[in-house]
Amino acid sequence: MYSEKVMDHFTNPRNVGEMPDADGIGAEGNPVCGDAMKIFIKVKDNIITDVKFQTFGCGAAIAVSSMVTEMAKGMTLEEASKISKASVAEALDGLPPQKMHCSNLGADALHKAIEDYKNKQGK
Amino acid sequence: MKKIYLDHVATNPLHPEVLDAMMPYFRENYGNPLSLYGPGFKAREAIESARESTASLINAKAKEIIFTASGAESNNFALKGIAYALQGKGKHIIVSKIEHHSVLNSARFLEKQGFVVTYLPVDNHGLVDPEAVRKAINKETILISIIHASPEIGTIQPIAEISKIAKEKGVLLHTDSVSSVGNIPVDVQELNVDLMTFAAHQFYGPKGAAALYVKEGTRIVPLIYGGIQEGGRRAGTENVPAIVGMGKAAEITKRDLQKRIDHIRPLRDSIISSTLKIDKVILTGHPEQRLPGHASFVVEYIEGEAMLLMLAAKGIYLASGSACSSKALKSSPVLISIGVPVHLAQGSVVFTLGEETTTEDITYFNETFPQVISRLREISPYSKGWEETEAPTCIAKK
């Protein structure tokens, strides 16, 4: 049902964990709905230098989180803002239709983390 | 890698003796059981002999067995067939909230046809209260349908107690015994039910073969009209090899059932005691009144499909009642009915053992499952506890 890439990111997720000194944090989803993600970013000179995630959810949700963190690492904030549910799903060689909402969550959590960073900078 | 199949409630492999019994009915004895010459007679005899052994497994008479193609068909047949047969007497039906979809959706269909359905709640162990059944019965009630054993939580219902009340009130009782026949001794005389559904693949018979027990003298309207097969109650040329397979599987099950139970119960107990040592794991269903090969849990802070996939990657196959693992992406109504909060229901896993499960399998399972849980908890944002969750607005799961 899942692509090899999804299974790879699910069984060996990249960038798992908390980041106590994160510059931005984005949370999306809710355990009641079945998936919840937290993405932490570290930013230097407008570039995302480190990303971590924590996820409660199915195989697709965990693989999406892992892929989003891998894609965003090293990107400028503008580039990372353009990561979409479609680009995450594509990078994973596709997701089953009923799991597309998972890639939505991943992109949204990342965008929220960027927003959080920008808000903190604004203060 | 070794494959450890712990999803026997989903289905079972065919017993080798069953396959041997079926084989001659594909190519040699291929006759139509209605044909009035040699090959037809042979097929007819084979069906009637299968009916004898299938009936014998549940202590029924051969003529009380109607062969069907699935448990779902038998459940549809029982509900619709009795509803239409007795609608002149009344239009009220009672079912529990934890029935199989084939019962629940038949009940919903009948509601659209003008029948009234009461959905009985269950307690935290998944038990129907027989007194609640009594209270739900009214002058219009024609049928009660209560699942014998839950495939999701393993709980076995007090069917004999419920049937006493049904008899007292003159209401027919159907029980969906798909998960119980082949796993525990089931005797229609003891249970005193009027109709019972069971399926061959639950006891090492073929898929596509099931039966509805209809007590002698019970009127039922067919689902499928046509020829005179199954006494005119289920038309269509019989699936002879499958029926033969069901008969053989019933015969073997009658012979081996106690041995199977004695084999799997201690292994299942080992899964339960080992798994409950893990922090924040809850046994779902009844602690004692449950199927002997059935262990079901909710594991906090992680999600069922993720557990299922990670265990599958380690060669262990199981089922989950989490929303994400279902094609419909809905939490299991059974878990919600026994009071499991929605976020905990996401962490549901079900393990069901069979006669080929070995002690080594369970030792491996007991080592592997805690590792999978702790790996997924490392990834989870809730590993230190559930945060205050706001009233959620879940994204439409499309």
Q: Which residues of A touch B390 (CB under 8 A)?
A: 30
pLDDT given for residue B397 in this prediction? 40
**Is residue B355 within 8 Å of B263, Cβ to Cβ?**
yes
Q: Does B384 touch chain A (CB under 8 A)?
A: no
- Pick from A96-100, B39-43, B106-110, B379-383: least confident: A96-100
**Could B380 and A55 be called an inter-chain contact, meaning their C-beta atoms sit closer than 8 Å?**
yes
B62 closest CA partner among B195, B187, B197, B216: B216
Would you say domain A4-122 falls under CATH 3.40.50.740? no
- DSSP string spanning B344-394? HHTTEEEEE--TT--HHHHHHHHHHHHHHHHHHHHH-TTTT----PPPP-P
pLDDT given for residue B378 in this prediction? 96
When pLDDT is cut at 50, 70 and 90, the band that residue B331 belongs to is: confident
Task: Write the pLDDT tens digit of every residue in B89-138.
Answer: 999 999 999 999 999 999 999 999 999 999 999 999 999 999 999 999 99
Would you say domain B4-9+257-379 falls under CATH 3.40.47.10? no
Read off the pLDDT of each residue in A89-96 and give the average, rounded to a whole number.
93
pLDDT given for residue A31 in this prediction? 86
Q: Chain A to chain B, count of Cβ pairs less than 8 Å apart?
A: 94
Task: Write the pLDDT tens digit of every residue in B222-273.
Answer: 999 999 999 999 999 999 999 999 999 999 999 999 999 999 999 999 999 9
Q: Which residues of A touch B299 (CB under 8 A)?
A: none
pLDDT of B393 strictly over 60 = no
**Could B305 and A38 be called an inter-chain contact, meaning their C-beta atoms sit closer than 8 Å?**
no
pLDDT given for residue B365 in this prediction? 98
Helices B304-313/B359-379 angle, 10° precision: 130
When pLDDT is cut at 50, 70 and 90, the band that residue A100 belongs to is: confident
Q: Which residue has the tokens 């129907």?
A: B128
Q: Does B392 touch chain A (CB under 8 A)?
A: yes
To test the contact with chain A by mutation, choose from B301, B305, B388 the residue with the greatest count of A C-beta atoms within 10 A, namely: B305
pLDDT given for residue B329 in this prediction? 63
**Could B309 and A57 be called an inter-chain contact, meaning their C-beta atoms sit closer than 8 Å?**
no
Q: Does A62 touch chain B (CB under 8 A)?
A: yes
pLDDT given for residue B4 in this prediction? 97
Q: Does B329 touch chain A (CB under 8 A)?
A: yes
Average pLDDT over chain B reads 94
Read off the pLDDT of each residue in B203-225 and give the average, rounded to a whole number.
98
pLDDT given for residue B398 in this prediction? 35
**Could B342 and A55 be called an inter-chain contact, meaning their C-beta atoms sit closer than 8 Å?**
no
pLDDT given for residue B383 in this prediction? 85
- How many other β-carbons are positioned within 10 Å of the β-carbon of residue B330? 13
Q: How far is A76 from chain B (nearest CA, A)?
A: 26
pTM equals 0.93
Query: Which of B306, B327, B390 minimises the CB distance to A57?
Result: B306
- What ipTM did this prediction achieve? 0.93
Q: Which residues of A touch B394 (CB under 8 A)?
A: 30, 32-34
Q: Which residues of B touch A11 (CB under 8 A)?
A: 310, 313
Query: Which of B309, B346, B392 minimises the CB distance to A59?
Result: B309
**Is residue B318 within 8 Å of B351, Cβ to Cβ?**
yes
- How many other β-carbons are positioned within 10 Å of the β-carbon of residue B363? 13
| Nearest residue of B to residue A100, measured between CA atoms | B398
To test the contact with chain B by mutation, choose from A3, A25, A33, A65 the residue with the greatest count of B C-beta atoms within 10 A, namely: A33
| Domain range list for chain B | 4-9+257-379, 16-253
Rounded CA separation B122/B334 (Å):
9
Read off the pLDDT of each residue in A60-66 and give the average, rounded to a whole number.
95
* B394: annotated active-site residue: no
**Could B381 and A35 be called an inter-chain contact, meaning their C-beta atoms sit closer than 8 Å?**
no
| Nearest residue of B to residue A39, measured between CA atoms | B381
pLDDT of B370 strictly over 80 = yes
| Domain range list for chain A | 4-122
- How many other β-carbons are positioned within 10 Å of the β-carbon of residue A93? 12
Give the length of chain A.
Answer: 123
**Could B327 and A54 be called an inter-chain contact, meaning their C-beta atoms sit closer than 8 Å?**
no
pLDDT given for residue A11 in this prediction? 94
pLDDT given for residue B2 in this prediction? 85
Q: Does A98 touch chain B (CB under 8 A)?
A: yes
Query: Which of A7, A56, A105 minimises the CB distance to B303?
Result: A56
pLDDT given for residue B381 in this prediction? 93
When pLDDT is cut at 50, 70 and 90, the band that residue B29 belongs to is: very high
- Architecture of the B16-253 domain: 3-Layer(aba) Sandwich (3.40)
Q: Does B336 touch chain A (CB under 8 A)?
A: no
pLDDT of B285 strictly over 80 = yes
**Could A54 and B380 be called an inter-chain contact, meaning their C-beta atoms sit closer than 8 Å?**
yes
Same fold for the pair B4-9+257-379 and B16-253? no
